[in-house]
Amino acid sequence: MTGAEFDSNAFVSFGGVPATKLRVDSASQISATVPESAKTGEISVRTAGGTARSSTQLVVSHAPKSADGYKLAWHDEFEGSAVDRARWSLGTNVRDDAFQTVDAVKVEDSVLKISTYTDPSTGRHHTGWLITRGLYEFRFGYIEASVRFASRPGQWGAVWLMSQANRVAEPPNPAAGVEVDIIEHRAVSKDNAADISNEFSSAVHWNGYENGKTISRGSGPQRLPEKQSFSSWHTVGVLWTPEGYQFYLDGAETPYATIKEGISLNDEYIKLTCEIKNGGWAGLIPPGGYGPLGASTNATMEVDWVRVWRP
């Protein structure tokens, strides 16, 4: 929380539930711990200068117990009407069968939306990438995002980490940096063989991307609980420590996957991306493409927020 003069006499409550622990980080920032009973509501802050309340209802986001004691270090709630270019760079490259374009990315109602579409005049497929390279990079911590998907064949969405130093080395040296896929989501499997829209996966890849050089470890296919889908919001996160990676879904106390290899000891940046590759692991691009921007046939990935806690 920022924007006030905080001191040791500050009082914070969340939805009427008092904070159990306060830490004054500076004159303009305070960290507060709230009990489990605080789920949603307005924040009320009392300082020497008076009392203020948030204008909107907010939701408590808990880091897993294994990250207890960590402090929120970076976040984007996607407020306003556009991507914060001080936090994110927008991709403009060509990758596989997708042209990255800023037109595919918008912020509306405090939600980031990446749309995958096909330009009817050229037949080209377009999508969006956001990265924090050179803007925010970190080493060790817990990162979590709230996401939902409307994926389509030939396309997939992902939240991941990357190091600028992930490249081939002899012998392989993951300490220099790796790719950490917090979540990858597809509509169908290769050749459109199966509907896997309720599945997802996580993985770690290192030693660059040359054929025969890359080393990978993954969670294997994971499935949402029965009657749940990615058309609703889900939180995905990874706790990255010098001992390895623990992957979490929807605030569970127990990770669904733990990987103790390929441990990066280097700074990593955040990536929010959609990709298209015809005939790859995400299946076949529909014959008519994904429709023009804004069509109901667009594939979409939406992100409510991204947050990083660090020791």
Q: Are residues 21 and 80 in the same domain?
A: no
| Mean pLDDT value of segment 15-20 | 80
The CATH number for 214's domain is: 2.60.120.200
Q: Are residues 238 and 110 in the same domain?
A: yes
Q: Are residues 33 and 80 in the same domain?
A: no
Question: What is the distance between the alpha carbons of residues 190 and 283, in angstroms, rounded to a whole number?
Answer: 4
Q: Is residue 69 part of a domain?
A: no
Q: Is residue 233 part of a domain?
A: yes
What is the Cα Rg of the chain in Å? 20
Per residue in 251-310, pLDDT (tens digit) is: 898 999 999 999 999 999 999 999 999 999 999 999 999 999 999 999 999 999 999 999
Owning domain of residue 198: 75-310
Q: Are residues 95 and 41 in the same domain?
A: no
**What SS3 state is found at 104?**
helix
Q: Are residues 125 and 267 in the same domain?
A: yes
What's the gap between Cα 83 and its chain centre? 15
Q: Is residue 49 part of a domain?
A: yes
Q: Which residue from 111, 43, 127, 37 is spatially nearest to 77, judged by alpha carbons?
A: 111
**166 Cβ contact partners less than 8 Å away, ≥ 6 residues apart:** 176, 177, 178, 179, 205, 206, 207, 208
* Biggest distance spanned by C-alpha atoms of the chain: 64
**What SS3 state is found at 29?**
strand
pLDDT reading at 4 higher than 60:
no
Q: Is residue 16 part of a domain?
A: yes
Confidence of residue 50 (pLDDT cuts 50, 70, 90): confident
> pTM of the entire structure?
0.85
Question: What is the distance between the alpha carbons of residues 202 and 216, in angstroms, rounded to a whole number?
Answer: 11
Q: Is residue 66 part of a domain?
A: no
Q: Which residue from 162, 190, 155 is spatially nearest to 176, judged by alpha carbons?
A: 162
**What SS3 state is found at 234?**
strand
Q: Are residues 242 and 124 in the same domain?
A: yes
Do the Cβ atoms of 309 and 72 come closer than 8 Å?
A: yes
Question: What is the distance between the alpha carbons of residues 30 and 300, in angstroms, rounded to a whole number?
Answer: 36
Q: Is residue 235 part of a domain?
A: yes
Q: Are residues 27 and 169 in the same domain?
A: no
β-pair partners for 119: none
Q: Are residues 107 and 203 in the same domain?
A: yes
Do the Cβ atoms of 308 and 139 come closer than 8 Å?
A: no
For the chain, the domain total comes to: 2
The residue assigned the tokens 């050179």 is 134
**What SS3 state is found at 260?**
coil
Q: Are residues 225 and 267 in the same domain?
A: yes
Per residue in 140-172, pLDDT (tens digit) is: 999 999 999 999 999 999 999 999 999 999 999
**284 Cβ contact partners less than 8 Å away, ≥ 6 residues apart:** 153, 154, 191, 192, 278
Q: Which residue from 257, 252, 241 is spatially nearest to 310, judged by alpha carbons?
A: 241
**What SS3 state is found at 11?**
strand
Per residue in 230-253, pLDDT (tens digit) is: 999 999 999 999 999 999 999 898
Q: Are residues 26 and 106 in the same domain?
A: no
24-33, 99-108, 279-288: segment of lowest average pLDDT:
24-33
Q: Are residues 50 and 161 in the same domain?
A: no
Structure tokens at 198: 């309720």
Q: Are residues 15 and 80 in the same domain?
A: no
